[in-house]
Amino acid sequence: FNRLALGLRGSVERFAFEDARLTDGSVLDQGDRDLTQGTLRLRGAYELTPGLIPFVEAAVDARVHDRSIDRAGLRRDSTGLTARAGSTFE
């Protein structure tokens, strides 16, 4: 859009942990650590002069574990919001 630039980015990551075999031969289940993390980011920038481009950016992210409560009885799911402002320049 002429000097205005808009961008939308997203990502999804999957984390899966194997069970641990302890020195006494027993197995420690780590399935409560398995999670999916997603992020969505929106960025707007405006070219003031060639080489000087200020921007604002907002992002939302979420972590969702396969098990809602871990072995310690904690709920580990989370959501977050991030805001950034800055500039790129040459």
pLDDT digits (tens, 9 = 90+) for 40-71: 999 999 999 988 999 999 999 999 999 989 88
In a 10 Å sphere around its CB, with 0-12 CB exposed, 13-18 middle and 19+ buried, how is residue 55 labelled? middle
Tell me, what's the pLDDT at 44?
97
> Are the C-beta atoms of 84 and 56 separated by less than 8 Å?
yes
**Adjacent-strand bridge partners of 58:** 42, 83
Tell me, what's the pLDDT at 2?
85
Q: pTM for the full model?
A: 0.74
